[in-house]
Structure 1
Amino acid sequence: MAAIPMAMPVPAAAGSVCGPVVVVGQQFCAPYVVDLTVTKKALSLSDSDFAVTDINGNVVLKVKGVVFSLRDRAVLVDAANNPVLTMQQKMFSMHRRWQVFRGEGTNPENLLFSVKKSKLFQLKTELDVIMASNPNEDECDFKIKGSYFERSCTVCLGNSDSIIAQMNRKYTVKNVILGKDTFGVTVYPNVDYAFIASLIVILDEINKDRAGDD
């Protein structure tokens, strides 16, 4: 896999963590800040609903929606179209829970983590990320906090203020005309950017229905 181009150094935020945070694989970690752009097509006629690009515009990850599925489901693939993760909403679950599996498919043995709303009704976005190795779910392993209307959020370690990634929406005339949502994502050093990309996709899916409690 080609190395991600190095982004310009940026000051570390208060409470940020140096890592390592490896969830999907070490190959998705870099010893420097990685700046990514996540572009979502409002109406996709191709097999790619999201594209994740580096600072040079090279596609490093893509998300393909699974059509004709009984449940919301998407597959994260690398630039060579190799399956990395499968994301699927759990049926009849409270807090709009999504489950994420390694590779393609939803074999329970390949479950990596789950994402769910911290509370059933929220004014601001708050999601809990629970690793498969934490079946009791006494505490979340990661937390996503932010504002849906401002389309900005941070990803933190557990319930701490240790930031591992930040996301903000980008507004351009071109994107508005083409019906695209574009997000700038800053991934802190030694943090798994494939993991962060999957969280952004799930965040967008959960926020499609703010009133949903399924």
Structure 2
Amino acid sequence: MANSAWGYGVPMISVVGDSFCVPYTMEITVKKRIQGFSKAHYDVFDSSGNLLLQIDGSVWKISKKRVMRDPTGIPLLTLKQTICNFGQSAKWRKVWTVHPGENSDDILFRVEERNPVQLKTRLDVFLPDNDNKKAGDFYVTGSFASLSFKAYKDKSPIAQVHHSYSWGSFCKGRESFKVRVQPEVDYSFIMALLVILEENEN
């Protein structure tokens, strides 16, 4: 995975919490598995194999919901999907709201699908204090076909994802991602974006 222009000394990007920002590049492994016929589960590990985060939720539902937990099982975030129509001429698009904990109505950020009919997915990310409905604070691009995703702040990449995909693992309901998160970037925020993009792609 190529190095980006993002480097040391840049302002911290803390969305979920400062404790998820570290002063060095994070090399993370994300393992996804389908449990039975009803649940998707993600495990997030650091480069030493320590469990950092867990994300789970039901697979076969129209409105998806995913809960991110710490290694002890305490809920950190809830990711909720709705499908909205933006105007009479607009297509139906997927929108996710991300909330702290498991039962809060507060919104940490919102993720909108730019255009549902496109080869390369783009998701725009809006923080609560963003009054500009067209320009997000962050955006994510990628596609399942290209097996790689990137997250950006303005035009600077803040995280890159490589999808280690094979037909054998896919048929067994298992997938693996390698993620590089730039220094001082909230890795739990990046994991939430990765799960949302992956769920939209699927």
Alignment TM-score, normalising by the size of structure 2:
0.85
Instruction: Name the counterpart of 2:4.
Output: 13
Matches within 5 A, 1:195-214: 195-208=189-202
Consecutive unaligned residues of structure 1, counting only runs of 5 or more, are 1-9, 209-214
Instruction: Name the counterpart of 1:164.
Output: 158
Per-residue CA deviations over 1:143-194 (Å, capped at 9, x if unaligned) read: 1112321220110013x2x111000112479845743110001000000000
The residue type equivalent to 1:126 in the other structure is R
Of 112, 121, 128, the match for 1:125: 121
CA RMSD of aligned residues (A): 2.6
The residue type equivalent to 2:114 in the other structure is S
Matches within 5 A, 1:91-102: 91-93=83-85, 94-102=92-100
Q: How many matched pairs?
A: 194
Matches within 5 A, 1:1-214: 12-14=3-5, 16=6, 18-44=10-36, 49-65=41-57, 71-93=63-85, 94-107=92-105, 110-158=106-154, 160=155, 162-171=156-165, 175=169, 178-208=172-202
Per-residue CA deviations over 1:30-80 (Å, capped at 9, x if unaligned) read: 000001111110335797711111112221100121589772101100011
Consecutive unaligned residues of structure 2, counting only runs of 5 or more, are 86-91
Give the 3-state SS of the residue equivalent to 2:13 in structure 1. Answer: coil
Q: Percent identity?
A: 34
Q: Equivalents in 1 of 2:176, 2:12: separation in Å?
A: 27
How far is the alpha carbon of 1:198 from its aligned partner? 0.5
Q: Which has the higher strand share?
A: 2
Instruction: Name the counterpart of 2:88.
Output: none
Alignment TM-score, normalising by the size of structure 1:
0.80
